[in-house]
Amino acid sequence: MAEWQFERWDRAHARGEFCCGKAPLDDFLRSLVSQYEKRKLGRTYIAVRPGEKRVIGYYTVASSCVPFANLPPGAAKKLPKHPVPTVLLGRLAVDQTAQGQGLGAELLIDALKRCLDLSQPLGIYAIEVHAIDRTAKVFYQKFGFVPLEDNDVHLYLPLATVEKAFAEKLRKK
């Protein structure tokens, strides 16, 4: 049986005890997620153990764009000189009770798969993230995210890289 499953957030999910150790991420889940959902500012997906409603991890995605000037020179030379469409991975957090078990990586992979699915009906160049700290930056870089020019914790991953990774994974099966 799977250790956890991913679901779209709803009010039935128990989030009051969630604690990842980063106050802004804890506060978002406890206090702001319902407003973001209601106003369509982001969509939050959560991880729960099968048969349970207690949130043990989550991520939020929203539409976004990166200004052309923020792209690294190598990427910029191949694109038109206007903002580039992205999906913003606004938050990703794992409860302290589940840290170190690979859930963060699985949440990220689930988010990347959703972005890839979205790219079929919608133009998306990349996934972007504002890493909350240096540890988070290193986590994202392990998956191929690279810094943008505006801030070294503002990272992006071209969707072409995601497509290639999922294609390779399917070939290995």
Catalytic positions:
140
Q: What are phi and psi of 127, to 5 degrees?
A: -110, 130
Strands 57-66 and 5-8, sheet pairing? unpaired
Contact by Cβ (8 Å): 90, 41 = no
User: Do 55 and 30 touch, CB atoms closer than 8 A?
Assistant: no
SS3 151: coil
Q: Which of 65, 61, 64 is nearest to 79 (CA)?
A: 65
Residue 161 burial by CB count (10 A; 0-12/13-18/19+): exposed, middle or buried? middle
How many Å apart are CA 91 and CA 40, to the nearest integer?
15
